[in-house]
Amino acid sequence: MIVAEQNIFYKAIGSEVEIFNQCNGLKLPLLLKGPTGTGKSRFIEFMADQLGKKLITISCHEETSSTDLIGRFIIKGAETVWIDGPLTMAVKNGYILYLDEVAEARPDVIVAIHSLTDHRRELFIDKLGETIKAHEDFLLVASFNPGYQKGFKELKPSTRQRFVALSFDYPQAKVETEILVQETGVDKDIAQKLVAIGNKIRNLTELGLTETVSTRLLVDAAKLIGNGLSKRLAVHVAVIEPLTDEQETLQALKDLSDLMI
């Protein structure tokens, strides 16, 4: 069998690779904390690829229930058949299950993963009355956006304490520049200017933005520039417009960025 080379690019920011490997070896669940667009998903894809493990990602939202994760009976002709959900599949086959934005999910999801996050490492399937032991390669990873501003859900302390937790944040300017160049092939001086704009806006805390400029937004701007869009316009549409709908703030940020690129 030929396995395609994936070559997922991920630039390590701190000790996250070592911590992930330790958690994987010790079968400890891992929680990635941090704002959106700081490389959490990319990191998991990279680690899964490095370890040759299959990864299932679930983007949790307010309707995500334990049934969605564990499985359900469906009617097929005259019969009802049980279909494993992604969590059950991952538990049985030893995959990595990544619950992105776990705090958004319904509370029964948190209840369902409890027995998987401690020494028991087992999943109770209430609809079947069965308990299954996790495959020894199974690993649970979740992400959470602490978002100190309104609109974000909190994760209960009793849940957080079931995980080893790693913080993700915007990288240092030099590292972020390298990410933009590697990821998009944009010239280094343009990458540096984009990162400078990003950092300038991140420091404008008085704007009270719910979320500020992420690496993802800078990557998008670099891609548009690389594809021929004018630099200023690329920054306007990829970096500034996604941040707010407030006209005055938009104009002020556009004026500011025009001076910088």
Angle of helix 16-26 relative to helix 40-51, nearest 10 degrees, comes to: 60
Contact positions with ligand ADP (CB under 6 A) in 114-143: none
Q: Which of 69, 183, 201, 212 binds ligand ADP (CB under 6 A)?
A: 183
- 198 lies in the site for ligand ADP, by CB under 6 A: no
DSSP string across 87-122: HHHHHHHT-EEEEETGGGS-HHHHHHHHTTSSTT-E
Residue closer to ligand ADP (CB basis): 38 or 159: 38
How far is residue 45's CA from residue 143's CA, in Å, rounded to a whole number? 13
Beta strand 96-100 pairing with 55-59: parallel
Q: Among all residues, whose Cβ is closest to ligand ADP?
A: 39
Q: Which residue is listed with tokens 């972020």?
A: 176
Per the CB < 8 A criterion, the answer to whether 214 and 249 are in contact is: no
- Least distance (Å) between residue 75 CB and ligand ADP: 37
Residue from 6, 27, 167 nearest 97 by CA: 27
Q: Which positions from 26 through 65 interact with ligand ADP, judged by CB under 6 A? A: 36-42
The distance in angstroms from the start CA to the end CA of the chain is 49
Please count the residues of this chain forming the interface with ligand ADP, following the rule CB under 6 A.
Answer: 16
Among 102, 195, 213, 219, binds ligand ADP (CB under 6 A): 219
CA-CA distance, 101 to 66, in Å (whole number)? 15
Cα 85 vs. chain centroid, distance in angstroms?
Answer: 21
Binder among 55, 97, 139, 179 for ligand ADP (CB under 6 A): 179
Candidate segments 55-63, 74-82, 110-118, 213-221, binder of ligand ADP by CB under 6 A:
213-221
Q: Which is nearer to ligand ADP, 94 or 242 (CB)?
A: 242
Closer CB to ligand ADP, 39 or 85, in the complex: 39
Q: Does 9 bind ligand ADP (CB under 6 A)?
A: yes
Residue 177 sits in the site that holds ligand ADP (CB under 6 A):
no
For residues 98 to 117, the per-residue mask of contacts with ligand ADP, x marking binding by CB under 6 A and - elsewhere, is --------------------
Give whichever of 45 and 134 is closer to ligand ADP, judged by the CB atom. Answer: 45
Q: Which of 53, 40, 160 is nearest to 97 (CA)?
A: 53
Give the footprint of ligand ADP on this chain (CB under 6 A): 9-11, 13, 36-42, 179, 183, 215-216, 219
